[in-house]
Amino acid sequence: MRFTPKKIEEILVAILSPEGLPLIKEMIGRSNVSEFDLATKTKKDIKVIRKMLYILHNYNLVGFTRKKDKQKGWYIYYWTLLPESIRFNYYKMKQDLLDRLKKQLENENKELFFVCPNDCVRLNFDQSMDFEFHCPECGELINQDNSKERMDKLQEKIAGLETEFKEMKEQRKERRKEVKTKKKETKKITRKKMNNKGKKKIKKKMVTKVKRK
């Protein structure tokens, strides 16, 4: 499963609300973007942009660097999305959703539900008893709901999320392997450089000794 811009938008919009979508679109795929540039591109007040960026920063979803403007004397902040943190939050959001769906499915299996013929309410058995099996909104007699269709939809969503989690775990394993491989390669290169430096020092000492003789 690729971590697409759409998925990045999904997690960030959940935090900022749809109002933050223009800001998110401007930041995806870019790094060290000036907050003033973001305000200009999104046509929003700089204070609004800063507020959104600070919210994302509180969730550790963006990082920043700052540089002093030599002419004006104030600091300008440059912002970058943090993909790994966004990935973690996306995973957590989906995990919470999966937990909620499983609880709903469990309730559907355990409970009897009743619905109003006018679609006013859906009540469990105890709630229906309290209202003597009449709709509290319109007064109509409520009927037992067939939960099969609802349960099928829940099971379909759960299966989809579990497949997504499996793919994400596989990707995480691959990334860890890549990181370990890069670390090993870096260590080998460092050792080789150190060995070469050591050999050069020894050779230099030997040349120096020969000259002195």
Tokens standing for 171?
A: 């990707």
User: Rounded CA gap, 46 and 56, in Å?
Assistant: 15
Q: What is the pTM of this model?
A: 0.63
- pLDDT beyond 60 at 207: no
Report CA-CA distances (Å) from 5 to 60, 105, 130, 139, 181: 18, 31, 48, 48, 27
Pick from 58-67, 76-85, 88-97, 98-107: least confident: 88-97
- Measured in whole angstroms, how far is the alpha carbon of residue 116 from the centre of its chain? 39
pLDDT tens, residue by residue, 161-200: 899 888 877 877 777 777 777 777 777 776 766 666 655 5
- pLDDT beyond 70 at 95: yes
∠ CA 133-136-141, rounded to 5°: 35
Lookup result for tokens 């409970």: 111
Rg (CA), the chain: 30
User: Rounded CA gap, 95 and 200, in Å?
Assistant: 56
- pLDDT beyond 90 at 34: yes
According to CATH, where is 1.10.10.10 located in the chain? 5-81
pLDDT, position 121: 93
Contact of 177 with 155, CB cutoff 8 Å: no
- pLDDT beyond 60 at 202: no
Q: Closest by alpha carbon to 21, among 45, 42, 50?
A: 42
Pairing mode of beta strands 143-144, 122-124: unpaired
CATH topology of domain 5-81: Arc Repressor Mutant, subunit A (1.10.10)
pLDDT tens, residue by residue, 55-83: 999 999 999 999 987 777 788 899 999 98
